[in-house]
């Protein structure tokens, strides 16, 4: 972890840059997978499952009995934890459902908008070293609250061809029963194009490795929506002398364990705090099981001393972190100045893990500087907003001439005429 003392503002842009991953070959590999799934459908999925996941071929769709069996296989204390997390996530995401408010923009002109669920959505849950059931909570709960009619899950099986019981249990808990044993770019292709077994969906959600991310990017060009562009996970911590160095160190390390390409940044107005955190990191790192991954991530990471906490916030807005922890005395006041961030954690006890699992906010957030223009996932991400308008005879009588004038000035005489034929009938009123 490099320490940088009071960098010039002209250096900030460079300090905010994320490492760029090599992409050229990726593009070709993923295009080939997409093409093959489009043409050969289920057969291609079987082929890639055996090639990449080295799992036995078998039924793509997880049978209901297998999902039910998970109830016995998941330990009770984890079930209880999942229940609590679900309740909190549900509470926060249910509050995002909006009622319809009709607005009279002018006399006789009523306009409103209504959020309507996207009918078919696909959730991708990565496999890898551990089953990421928390991601299924974060995608499944808002999809259900939104009212999506068909929600499918794709997730890669383990070497034995089985999907972790915790994933199956979490799906069951959120009310999802359509689960397919397929991962990687081929799973994204299946959800985009449809196969004999897997239905095509309108929007695809969920994180994944470079192949999955590239596949989502490519199918988006073919008319499927995706949740957001993705990059490696990241945290930026702003801390002052009031912060406990062991809390700050633990927060930085928790992010670093995601992968060697994770980004971890510490900003402070106190060099002494930075030094104490570095010492704590060394100590805590020694006992972490994922030491190699964490050390890799720390190599890309930076501690930066800045003249004031206000400058720390300015730097953070320039960086636009996925997760921002403000562990300072006046964290609430400082947070008012946040412009670019995915999710913000305030005060000593709001660690990022809380948002990752159970506080209620969503953990699917914009990385790689995308927080400048993208939002994290919400219930609204599973819906689209339709506008409505209803104009009375009186409304048309008032507004009609305005529309006629504007349409005519844009040389759209057909548009003007749609009003004129109506105004003509109103003359008899």
CB 267, CB 312: distance < 8 Å: yes
Nearest to 161 by CA among 75, 61, 64: 61
CA trace torsion 272, 276, 277, 281 (10° rounding):
150
What is the nearest approach in angstroms of its own copies to the Cβ of residue 300? 16
Judged by beta carbon, residue 45 or residue 228, the one nearer its own copies is 228
Beta carbon nearer to its own copies, 16 or 348: 348
**Residue 415 annotated among the catalytic residues of the structure:** no
Least separation, in Å, of the C-beta of 210 and its own copies?
Answer: 14
**Of 268 and 359, which has the nearer Cβ to its own copies?**
359
Q: From edge to edge, which strands make up the β-sheet containing 178-181?
A: 178-181, 150-155, 120-124, 203-205, 225-226
Query: Coil, strand or helix: which one is 3?
Result: strand
Establish whether 323 is a catalytic residue: yes
By CB atoms closer than 10 A (0-12, 13-18, 19+), residue 91 is exposed
| Minimal distance, residue 71 CB to its own copies, in Å | 16
Greatest CA span in the chain, whole angstroms? 87
**Chain-centre distance of CA 183, in angstroms?**
18
Task: For the chain, report the end-to-end CA distance as a whole number of angstroms.
Answer: 78
Closest-CA residue to 13 (of 425, 314, 244): 314
Q: Which is nearer to its own copies, 45 or 351 (CB)?
A: 351
For residue 111, the surrounding DSSP H or E stretch is: strand 109-117
In the complex, least distance from residue 46 CB atom to its own copies, rounded to whole angstroms: 27
- Shortest Å, Cβ 256 to its own copies: 7
Note the residue count of the chain: 429
The DSSP result for 39-88, as a single string, is HHTHHHHHHHHHHHS------SBPPHHHHHHHHHHS-HHHHHHHHHHHHH
Q: Looking at residue 167, what DSSP letter applies? A: H
Q: Which of 322, 352, 363, 404 is catalytic?
A: 322
Give whichever of 180 and 247 is closer to its own copies, judged by the CB atom.
247
For its own copies, give the closer residue by CB, 246 or 311.
Answer: 246
Of the residues 323, 352, 363, 404, which is catalytic? 323
The number of CA neighbours under 13 Å toward the Cβ of 208 is 29
Torsion angle of C-alpha atoms 52, 53, 56, 62, degrees rounded to 10:
-120
Return the number of the residue (146 or 306) whose C-beta is nearest its own copies: 146
Nearest-approach distance from CB 42 to its own copies, in angstroms: 21
Minimum distance, C-beta of residue 227 to its own copies, in the bound complex (Å) = 11
What distance in Å separates the CA atoms of residue 418 and residue 409, rounded to the nearest whole number? 15
What is the gyration radius of the CA atoms in the chain, in angstroms? Answer: 26
Catalytic residues: 322-323
């Amino acid at each position: 972890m490099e320490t940088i003392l009071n960098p010039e503002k002209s250096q900030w842009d460079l300090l905010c840059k994320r490492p760029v991953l090599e992409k050229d070959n990726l593009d070709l590999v993923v295009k080939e997978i997409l093409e093959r799934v489009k043409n050969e459908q289920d057969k291609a999925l079987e082929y890639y499952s055996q090639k990449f996941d080295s799992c036995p071929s078998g039924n793509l769709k997880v049978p209901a009995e297998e999902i039910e069996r998970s109830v016995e296989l998941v330990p009770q204390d984890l079930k209880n934890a999942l229940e609590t997390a679900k309740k909190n996530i549900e509470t926060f995401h249910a509050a995002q459902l909006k009622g319809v408010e009709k607005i009279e923009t002018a006399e006789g002109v009523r306009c409103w908008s209504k959020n309507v669920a996207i009918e078919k959505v696909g959730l991708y849950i990565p496999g890898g070293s551990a089953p990421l059931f928390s991601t299924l909570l974060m995608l499944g709960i808002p999809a259900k609250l939104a009212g999506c009619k068909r929600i499918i899950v794709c997730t890669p099986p383990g070497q034995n061809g089985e999907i972790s019981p915790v994933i199956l249990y979490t799906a069951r808990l959120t009310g999802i029963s359509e689960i397919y044993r397929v991962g990687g770019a081929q799973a994204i292709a299946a959800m985009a194009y449809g196969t004999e077994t897997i239905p095509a969906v309108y929007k695809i959600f969920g994180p994944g490795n470079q192949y999955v991310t590239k596949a989502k990017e490519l199918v988006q060009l073919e008319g499927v929506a995706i949740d957001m562009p993705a990059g490696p996970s990241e945290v930026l911590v702003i801390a002052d002398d009031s912060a406990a160095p062991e809390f700050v160190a633990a927060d930085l390390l928790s992010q670093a364990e995601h992968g060697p390409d994770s980004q971890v940044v510490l900003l402070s107005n106190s060099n002494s705090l930075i030094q104490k955190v570095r010492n704590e990191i060394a100590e805590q790192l020694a006992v972490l099981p994922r030491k190699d991954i964490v050390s890799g991530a720390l190599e890309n990471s930076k501690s930066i001393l800045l003249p004031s906490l206000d400058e720390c916030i300015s730097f953070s807005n320039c960086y636009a972190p996925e997760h921002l922890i403000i562990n300072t005395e006046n964290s609430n006041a400082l947070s008012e100045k946040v412009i670019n961030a995915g999710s913000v954690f305030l005060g000593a006890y709001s660690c990022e893990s809380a948002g990752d699992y159970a506080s209620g906010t969503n953990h699917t957030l914009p990385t790689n500087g995308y927080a400048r223009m993208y939002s994290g996932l919400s219930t609204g991400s599973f819906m689209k907003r339709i506008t409505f308008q209803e104009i009375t005879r009186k409304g048309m009588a008032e507004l009609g001439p305005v529309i006629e004038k504007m349409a005519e000035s844009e040389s759209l005489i057909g548009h003007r005429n749609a009003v004129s034929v109506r105004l003509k009938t109103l003359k008899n009123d």
